[in-house]
Amino acid sequence: MIYDLGLKVMTDDYKDAYNKEIDDAIAREKNRVAGSAGAKPEKNTGVLSDIQSEVALTIHESLGIEISPDMALPPSHVGADLAYSAFEAGGKLGQNPAEAAKKIAEAVASRKNAFIENISLEGAFVNFKLRQGETYARILREATLEGERFGASRAHAGEIALIEYSSPNIAKPMSLGHLRSTILGAVLGNLYEAEGFTVIRENYLGDYGTQFGKLLYAYETWEKKDAAALSIEELKNLYVRFHEEAEKNPSLDDHARALFARLESGDPVLGSLWKQFRDISISAYAQMYKRLGVSFDIVSGEARSAKDAGKFAALCLEKGICMTDGTTGAIIVENLAGLPSFVLQKKDESSIYIGRDLVTLSSRIENFHPDYILYCVGNEQELNFRQLFALARVLDIAPEDAILKHISFGLVLGESGTKMSTRKGGGVSLEELMNEAARRAEKIIMEKNPALSEEERAKIAEDVGIGSIIWNDLKQSRTKNIRFDWESMLDFEGGSAAYIQYANARIHSIFEKLGNIPPAENPVFAEKIEFALAKKIMFFPRTIRHARETDSPHHLSIYLDELSRLFNAFYAEVSVTGTEDQNLKSSRAILLRAVSQTLENGLKILQIRAPEKM
């Protein structure tokens, strides 16, 4: 009988074990968050921030307006080092941008500035020529002295950001489809930390729903192994087989629903089995996360919130926000913030996804009082999150000052351009993808550097292969679909992680040839490309800030690619080891250390390792 699995119940209660794991993680995070409470934010510093702040202060004092002082690198034909757009100032002054630009130029020119040598105008743009020697030396000192902290700030110290990401459905290997949420969430966590936030990383597993009734039926019917001995691949195969058999015999779905109902009601035998499936899954995922360099502070799941979803459905009825449907008996939310109606609870009082999310959101706010909560979930769930956030506000679950964000993203497509389907047994697992990337990378590295030992080659191939997968995800806007093109992903000539990694490895190769070289007392430069590199480095902290503010890591990817291209132009033009003037040689060594530090810091934020040899 399918209702008599005859399984041995685990000695400890599965619900207690499940909840204790999550409770312990939450307690640890509450203590950590409490330790960061009261930290004071600090003003952004650095060469670019100092220049912009000084200009903004001059405009405020001379023209009486507050402006955003962000500057950009002007086109090469302009002949300036920085450019400021006067469109915002024009609006605040009630003048056209060109007139505002002229007033700004006059105001800044009337005061002595530590960095600005002269000013020119081009339409609505104010162009600044910098005092190059002082600026160059300051940029290099900043990048090299701050080291691994270069680019980071304390601008948001004392603020808390909770990020939900990865969130695979248990009992299936992680697939290509899980890659984007996993990488995006991890990198956003790094960006928020770089800005001073205390970040809580949560993996909210899909460990609840009728699919587990299907898996339980499949296990009892077709599997002979003890549950603890199963691999995650075998669990997936059972799930796939169920769907194949159910297509021929639809009554199996009724049996699966009955089993899930028993699981929901607290059946200890089914619950113990479910807990083993979950543990097997978490163990398998840990191997994938380790290779990606991804970690979590809390690993929770939908099952934890299922039992409490009903209280919010009752609250919704009490407040008149929802109603009981006379035909289906389900609880429906209607006319909420102009959004389409949706089901909050089914007729049999079982919870659904949005109800469980509401419980989880309430718990997060109660436990951590986060300033930001980010959900890294695909584009197809956009409406669901609009409904969740609107309902959380109207039920007073989420205070108005808590910023709730759905960090949406496009699909990961195979080389054929189609979405994968685990249900049909198709698709590529994440492990297979990573193995293939490392294999292809090792082949290229063997050709480029045959002198490497087998151990070195394997380690570098792993770093380059995994890096290529991550970069392929982050090289463009997250809202776009991505496809896999192995040739471009492992292109050492540009537009890939390998290109950035190779540029950094080249710098380390130069360091080896230079040996111990005394630092330059007053760094100097002789070629335009040197100052261009330094100016690009100056923009690194702002690039991190912009990527964080827009929740768009591709801005950092683009920056690192551009910096690497500038370095390679320098590498083609200038011989550091062949420089005879010792002060210039030392200056160039410092410049390369600043470039390398910037590349390594940026790659670290993007979860990409930077091997020193390639």
Q: Is residue 464 part of a domain?
A: yes
Kindly report the backbone phi and psi dihedral angles of residue 446, in degrees, each rounded to the nearest multiple of 5, phi listed first: -60, -40
Q: Is residue 56 part of a domain?
A: yes
Of 413, 442, 466, the one marking the end of a domain is 413
Burial of 78 (0-12, 13-18, 19+ CB in 10 A): middle
Are 273 and 377 contained in the same domain?
yes
Confidence of residue 484 (pLDDT cuts 50, 70, 90): confident
Average pLDDT of 377-391? 96
| Cα–Cα distance, 259 to 262 (Å, whole number) | 5
pLDDT at 322: 92
pLDDT at 356: 93
Confidence of residue 426 (pLDDT cuts 50, 70, 90): low
Q: Is residue 367 part of a domain?
A: yes
Average pLDDT of 118-130? 95
What distance separates the 2 farthest-apart alpha carbons in the chain? 90
Q: Mean pLDDT in the chain?
A: 91
Burial of 430 (0-12, 13-18, 19+ CB in 10 A): buried
Confidence of residue 416 (pLDDT cuts 50, 70, 90): low
Q: Which of 121-125, 266-270, 439-443 has the lowest mean pLDDT?
A: 266-270
Answer left, alpha or beta for residue 112, where phi above 0 means left and psi between -120 and 50 means alpha: beta
Q: What CATH number does the domain containing 103 carry?
A: 3.30.1360.70
**453 pLDDT above the threshold of 70:** yes
Q: Please state the separation of Cα 85 from the chain's center in Å.
A: 30
Residue pLDDT, tens place only, 264-316: 888 888 998 999 999 999 999 999 999 999 999 999 999 999 889 889 999 99
- How many domains are contained in the chain? 3
Q: Is 371 helix (H, G, I), strand (E, B) or coil?
A: coil
pLDDT at 468: 95
| Cα–Cα distance, 342 to 330 (Å, whole number) | 10
Residue pLDDT, tens place only, 153-187: 999 999 999 999 999 999 999 987 789 999 999 99
405 within 8 A of 398, measured Cβ to Cβ: no
Average pLDDT of 115-124? 93
Are 500 and 576 contained in the same domain?
yes
pLDDT at 37: 83
Residue pLDDT, tens place only, 188-213: 999 999 999 999 999 999 999 889 99
Average pLDDT of 331-338? 91
Are 216 and 166 contained in the same domain?
yes
| Cα–Cα distance, 270 to 277 (Å, whole number) | 11
Q: Is residue 198 part of a domain?
A: yes
**4 pLDDT above the threshold of 50:** no
Q: Could you tell me which residues are beta bridge partners of residue 211?
A: none
Confidence of residue 112 (pLDDT cuts 50, 70, 90): confident
361 within 8 A of 389, measured Cβ to Cβ: no
Neighbour tally for 398: CB within 10 Å: 22
Q: Is 343 helix (H, G, I), strand (E, B) or coil?
A: strand
Confidence of residue 127 (pLDDT cuts 50, 70, 90): very high
Are 94 and 173 contained in the same domain?
no
Burial of 458 (0-12, 13-18, 19+ CB in 10 A): middle
Are 402 and 253 contained in the same domain?
yes
Are 367 and 512 contained in the same domain?
no
**10 pLDDT above the threshold of 80:** no
| Cα–Cα distance, 540 to 601 (Å, whole number) | 10
94 within 8 A of 141, measured Cβ to Cβ: no
Neighbour tally for 607: CB within 10 Å: 22
pLDDT at 72: 93
Are 381 and 501 contained in the same domain?
no
Are 114 and 204 contained in the same domain?
no
Residue pLDDT, tens place only, 455-469: 999 999 999 999 999
Are 491 and 528 contained in the same domain?
yes
**409 pLDDT above the threshold of 50:** yes
Q: Is residue 151 part of a domain?
A: no
pLDDT at 494: 83
Q: Is 406 helix (H, G, I), strand (E, B) or coil?
A: strand
Q: Is residue 330 part of a domain?
A: no
| Cα–Cα distance, 571 to 502 (Å, whole number) | 12
Kindly report the backbone phi and psi dihedral angles of residue 86, in degrees, each rounded to the nearest multiple of 5, phi listed first: -95, 15
Q: Which positions ≥6 away from 493 have C-beta within 8 Å?
A: 499
Q: Tell me the residue range of the domain where 97 lies.
A: 47-136
**238 pLDDT above the threshold of 90:** yes
Are 195 and 252 contained in the same domain?
yes
Average pLDDT of 414-435? 66
Are 442 and 574 contained in the same domain?
yes
Q: Is 204 helix (H, G, I), strand (E, B) or coil?
A: strand
pLDDT at 117: 93
Q: Is residue 61 part of a domain?
A: yes
Average pLDDT of 38-58? 91
| Cα–Cα distance, 141 to 594 (Å, whole number) | 8
Q: What CATH number does the domain containing 371 carry?
A: 3.40.50.620
Confidence of residue 418 (pLDDT cuts 50, 70, 90): low
Of 413, 439, 467, the one marking the end of a domain is 413
Percentage of the chain lying above the pLDDT 70 cut: 96
β 342-345/331-333 pair status = antiparallel
pLDDT at 422: 43
Q: Could you tell me which residues are beta bridge partners of residue 332?
A: 323, 343
pLDDT at 417: 61
Q: Is 483 helix (H, G, I), strand (E, B) or coil?
A: strand
Residue pLDDT, tens place only, 498-510: 999 999 999 999 9
**414 pLDDT above the threshold of 70:** no
| Cα–Cα distance, 99 to 124 (Å, whole number) | 8
pTM: 0.93
Nearest of 307, 88, 320, 313 to residue 208 by alpha carbon: 307
Query: Helix crossing, 251-264 with 211-222: angle to 10°?
Result: 110
**Token pair belonging to 316:** 């919704």
93 within 8 A of 103, measured Cβ to Cβ: yes
Of 136, 168, 201, the one marking the end of a domain is 136
Q: Which positions ≥6 away from 315 have C-beta within 8 Å?
A: 395
pLDDT at 603: 98
**531 pLDDT above the threshold of 90:** yes
Answer left, alpha or beta for residue 125, where phi above 0 means left and psi between -120 and 50 means alpha: beta
pLDDT at 415: 64
**2 pLDDT above the threshold of 90:** no
Percentage of the chain lying above the pLDDT 90 cut: 78
Place of tokens 């969740």: 388
**424 pLDDT above the threshold of 50:** no
Are 197 and 119 contained in the same domain?
no
pLDDT at 427: 60
Q: Is residue 123 part of a domain?
A: yes
Q: What CATH number does the domain containing 591 carry?
A: 1.10.730.10
pLDDT at 294: 97
Q: What is the SS3 assignment for 152-170?
A: CCCCCCCCEEEEECCCCEC
